[in-house]
Structures are given as C-alpha cells and as structure tokens.
Amino acid sequence: MISILFQIVNEALNLYKWAVILAAVVSTLAAFGVLDMRNRLMWSIGDFLERITEPALRPIRNVLPNFGTIDLSPLVLIFLIYIAQAVLARLYAAIAFGNMQGLLF
C-alpha cells in the first residue's frame, strides 16, 4: 500500500515537472511570435499551463533577483522537484526496507 502512494506522488511530481517545462516552452514560443495565442486551442493550452504552474513559480520569482527578460524560476522549480523526488526515494527506502542509513546524506 505504501509503495503505491509513493509511486503516485513520484508520478505526480514527474507530471508537474513536465508541465513546468511545457509552460516555459509555450511562453517562450509565444513571446517570439512562433505560436499564435489568438488561436483558441493555443490560448487554452497556454492558459491551462500558466494556471497550474504559476502558484509554484510566483514565490520563486519573488525571491530571485530580477534578470530582465530572463526567467530562471522554472529551472529553480525543476531543481526543487528533483530534490523532492530524491528525498521521497530515500524516505520510501527507509520506510519500506528499514534502511535508516538511507535517510542520512
């Protein structure tokens, strides 16, 4: 039962990581005029990606210094997701296999 929960959380983190990547790509392509955001489908996709990633990106943007037009907050968020997945894997090993040494870095 516990392994199913850890797998679900890990897959949710993977999906969110890809959503952040897609949101950054769509935003960049829209800024350069490659994607026409007046198209209803593209607008819907961009709006959906922005709505699910913006709550996590906004606090990171408030902490990071202003680099002008370069937005590094998606990179920071992806790095934090990788850290969360590593901690989750170590926690799973400690709970499922009794490997308490795995909790120590």
Q: Give domain limits for the chain.
A: 2-103
Cβ proximity of 99 and 93 under 8 Å: yes
The per-residue pLDDT for 102 is 59
Write down the mean pLDDT value for the chain.
Answer: 91
The per-residue pLDDT for 103 is 61
Cβ proximity of 26 and 35 under 8 Å: yes
Q: Percentage of residues in the chain with pLDDT exceeding 90?
A: 74
pLDDT at 1 over 80: no
- Average pLDDT for 80-104: 84
pLDDT at 62 over 90: yes
The residue assigned the tokens 């679900």 is 8
**Confidence band for 101, pLDDT divided at 50, 70 and 90:** low
